[in-house]
Amino acid sequence: MAMLPSEGFVTMEDGVRLFFRTRGRGPQAVIVPNGLHVWDDFEPLAQGRLLIFYDLRNRGRSDRVSDTSTRKGGVLDDVLDLEAVRRHLGLAGLSLIGHSYVGLSVVLYAMKYPAHVSRVVQIGPMQPFSGKQYPAHLTCADATLPDVFSRLAALQKERESSDPQEFCRKFWSVLRLIYVTDPADADRIDWGRCDLPNERNLMKYWTETVFPSIQSLNLSAEDLAGVETPVLTLHGTRDRSAPYGGGREWALRLPNARLVTVENGGHAPWIEAPERVFGSIEAFLEGGWPPGAEKVESLDCSSRG
């Protein structure tokens, strides 16, 4: 593999350019789709390997698709784009790290292109079966979520009269509270990237394209049972954005998967437990299962210890 530039663009077959940035150096290539918001946080993983972060289409510094009549597949388009990125960068094989809904996308990639991916890491992934309801002990249904949504609804009244960047900053100052366990850590969530038009328009793209594409997937247990790629799922027990039950579901349904539970961890569990999260990922990328990784036999976690 030729040495990659520190940053640049990869052009897709339909002409859309995706912005990427690289960190570290080594024989192992690890791609983090939609990962530039965690560029600094994930620095510990760059020792001895090459990390490649890139913005999805309609995200960050990548191109916005103005023609809505084509490529409306949402997460399925993201899978095709990931394969195009791999080919363009000349990677024979790669490992993947996906956070949040991209934790779903990276498994979809492993389903479609198993020959090109050696290991997959999911962090706080969206659940595999859209709309499935989990019992209370497998979710974090506390008072924070409705309070945040109420505050965001009130904030919408300011949208038309506010400067777009300022509104975006206000929006994220409220939203980030749902991603951490301790409100004092909320200022460590700096995901808004409000200087970028794509990110200021994120909610429209999410509600009109990405989320409907996820709802339409209709994955089955049989689909997941066919994924042979090793998958490490890390999930916080107090994740309000993606229920902990969904993390257990992934590790239960995927035949070659293990779950690392982050007690008291939120949607960005490396904030509450950086050594556990990054230590586990490091061990997995080195070829083994990390200490404490659970072979999930049931959604019930009462015997977990």
**For residue range 89-109, what is the model confidence (pLDDT) as tens digits?**
999 999 999 999 999 999 999
Give the gyration radius of the chain's Cα atoms. Answer: 19
Residue 302 pLDDT class (50, 70, 90 cuts) = low
At 113-153, the pLDDT tens digits run 999 999 999 999 999 999 999 999 999 889 999 999 999 99
| pTM confidence score | 0.95
- What would the mean pLDDT of 23-47 be, rounded to a whole number? 96
Parse the chain into domains and list their residue ranges.
Answer: 7-136+211-285
Give percent of the chain with pLDDT exceeding 90.
87
Query: Tell me, what's the pLDDT at 2?
Result: 59
Q: What is the CATH number of domain 7-136+211-285?
A: 3.40.50.1820
Question: What are the pLDDT digits (tens) for 173-229?
Answer: 999 999 999 999 999 999 999 999 999 999 989 999 999 999 999 999 999 999 999
